[in-house]
Amino acid sequence: MSLLILFIIVAIIVVSITLFLRKSIKIKTTFFNGNGTKWLLVGYLIVLIASFFIYQTIAIDKVANEPNLTHEEFDELYATFQEAARNGTLDSLEESFVVEDWRIEYEEPTIHLNTRNNNHMGVSMFAERKETNDGEIEVYYYTSQSSVEGIDITEEISRINLEVEGETMMFMRPTPVDLRFAKFTKEFTITQFTGERQTFDQHFTAMAPEILYLKIPKDLEIVDYADFYIQEVVK
């Protein structure tokens, strides 16, 4: 629908300019001597006007802003995440949120942790023992905001899923998401007067830490977890 409206607007502009020029053909100016020059200028004018309307209809999902965090602040956030997980206080950390959680009924004395096709998950895992054997494993998936050059990509990231098969808790990550970005810089003819720096290929990607936080029955033993480094929570 937007393209149809754009076409109508451009057509109206072209017709209006053509009629105007036909009425003013008797006006002798230096610029319009010769039909070739006249229509060259007319075409250029039409392109300029049409480009304005076309630009307004271009769909831009997200525009980069200034990065939310500097490199130093991001490193500090990562360390804070790990410390909060070790202390069992991720719920109280303002920057963290749960993207998924699972409650699994489980009565066996041991459980195996594995990944589908032995793929590396790239997450940290923490386990907190409950005070009772309640027959339920709780898994909470924590993360924070991720961004590229200030563009929020938190909702675009492929997230981990899990399944329980017998005495094995299987973790898997779906097919990675392909995100494409375009970066524009002003020409030197402009920046030499504005003082802006040429960034070229410099960019800052802030991928938030991902943490799987398990709450397990008091006497449940986790075995065979070669694909994970599990840290025990001490509260």
At 134-176, the pLDDT tens digits run 999 999 999 988 888 778 888 888 888 999 989 999 998 877 7
> Are 188 and 146 in the same domain?
yes
Claim to verify: residue 97 and residue 53 sit in the same structural domain: no
SS3 letters for 41-78? HHHHHHHHHHHHHHHHHCCCCCCCCCCCCCHHHHHHHH
Q: Which pLDDT score is estimated for 30?
A: 47
Residues 51 and 80 in one domain: no
Domain count, the chain: 2
Contact at 8 Å (CB) between 125 and 230?
Answer: yes
pLDDT-based confidence at 1, cuts 50/70/90?
A: very low
Is residue 98 domain-shared with residue 155, that is, in the same domain? yes
pLDDT on residue 51 = 63
> Which pair of tokens denotes residue 211?
């943490």
For the chain, count helices (H), then strands (E).
4, 12
Residues 155 and 159: their CA atoms lie apart, in Å, by: 9
Pick from 113, 15, 12: nearest CA to 53:
12
Q: Is residue 66 part of a domain?
A: no
Task: Name the burial class of residue 155, with classes exposed (0-12), middle (13-18) and buried (19+) by CB atoms within 10 angstroms of its CB.
Answer: exposed
pLDDT band at 28 (very low <50, low <70, confident <90, very high): very low
pLDDT at 69 over 80: no
pTM of the prediction? 0.66
177 lies in which domain range?
71-232
Range of 25-34, 198-207, 220-229 with top mean pLDDT: 220-229
CA gap 112, 170 in Å, rounded:
8
Between 8 and 170, residue with greater pLDDT: 170
Q: How many CB atoms lie within 10 A of CB 62?
A: 13
In a domain, 46, yes or no: yes
223 in any annotated domain: yes
**118 shares its domain with 177:** yes
pLDDT at residue number 48: 66
- Candidates 40, 41, 55; CA nearest to 10 is 55
Structure-token match 């027959």, residue found: 135
CA distance 97 to 100: 9
Instruction: Return mean pLDDT, the chain.
Output: 76
- The reply to whether 158 falls in a domain is yes
Top-confidence residue, 90 or 227: 90
pLDDT confidence of residue 23: 55
Is 64 inside any structural domain?
no
- Judge if 82 and 136 occupy the same domain: yes
Q: How confident is the model at residue 31 (pLDDT cuts 50, 70, 90)?
A: very low
State residue 155's pLDDT score: 86
Does residue 62 sit within a domain? Answer: no
Q: Looking at the structure, do residues 52 and 99 belong to the same domain, yes or no?
A: no
